[in-house]
Amino acid sequence: MSTKPIDRLPPLALLASFEAAARHLSFTQAAEERFVTQSAMSRQMRSLEEELGVTLFERRHRALALTEDGQRLYAACATALNTLRVAVRAVREPHQRQVLALTTTPGFASLWLIPRLTAFTRAHPGIDVRLDAGLGNRNLASEGFDLAIRYSPVGAAQGRQLFAESMLPVCSPRLVGELGLPLREPPDLARHTLLHLAMDGDSAGMPAEWEPWLGAWGLSDLRPAARLSFSSYAEAIAAAVAGQGVALGRRPLVDALLASGQLVTPFDAGIESARAYRLIVDPAARSRPAVKAFERWLLEAAASPGTA
């Protein structure tokens, strides 16, 4: 009876699908990434387990977990596939345009980065930027990103701080001038609609996003006239520009809107945020000319936050 050589590799496509399933711990998300159906992904993982003669996943109710063998194989697959990605990129780059992959938050992307990107692309016409804006922390190595700009606690160890953040109320200049609704000092916010990013800690009265600022000014019990919540920070700021209420402005994200007069600060009452924006570069990508150029440009732009 013939037996398979113990070191014979399973098909590379199966290993790539396994790496995606192990990274997401979801056959559904892995199937979307690999452009197959969820049932096909499940069959592929069964086939791989039969090929290896081990169980790779613990299939729990609506959840997956890696077994010890699965963890060992995932570590090897993630490392090997990233090495292949780096090598393929190095082979392709001399023969085609360079592509720079960057991930960051939606608010930072729309309010700060995108208005400035034209300056980078004009100065570096041979570099194409692929921007991913989402709230999840992407795995740079395994998901093919070169850099990340993350919204992290001040003093976080990972990456290099671009700039700190301060927070203060902002609104449309039209709102300040409305008769019968004064907005000259912090307690006046009780007469207005507060705009905010929807968060898990929101209560019936005070939006959780506003808690640090209101607490700093002794207004923890303030109840606004109304609230409007949004799924992204950029939407809340757009509503403020449209005169729909008062948003908590995060500087320097709103600096350009303040400079243009689209937003104003009804009173000088800013506080320092406990978070900052940090640049993280994938070590495997740091030597690429495109990554070096973008990192240098980004640091220079961050040093002059008022320019766009």
- All domains in the chain, ordered by first residue: 12-91 (1.10.10.10), 96-163+275-303 (3.40.190.10), 165-273 (3.40.190.10)
The rounded mean pLDDT for the chain is 88
151: closest CA among 215, 106, 200?
Answer: 106
| pTM of the predicted model as reported, rounded to 2 decimal places | 0.67
pLDDT of residue 1: 38
pLDDT tens sequence across 25-35: 999 999 998 99
The alpha helices in the chain, defined as continuous H runs, are 12-24, 27-34, 38-52, 68-92, 106-108, 114-123, 140-143, 173-176, 211-216, 233-241, 255-260, 289-303
d(CA 114, CA 145): 18
Strands 57-60, 246-251: pairing is unpaired
Q: How confident is the model at residue 126 (pLDDT cuts 50, 70, 90)?
A: confident
Beta-bridge mates of residue 127: 98
Strands 127-133, 63-66: pairing is unpaired
What is the mean pLDDT of the segment spanning 154-172? 90
pLDDT tens sequence across 236-279: 999 999 999 999 999 999 999 999 999 999 998 899 999 899 99
230: closest CA among 243, 251, 247, 215?
Answer: 247
pLDDT tens sequence across 24-61: 999 999 999 899 999 999 999 999 999 999 999 999 88
pLDDT of residue 46: 95
pLDDT score of 2 more than 50: no
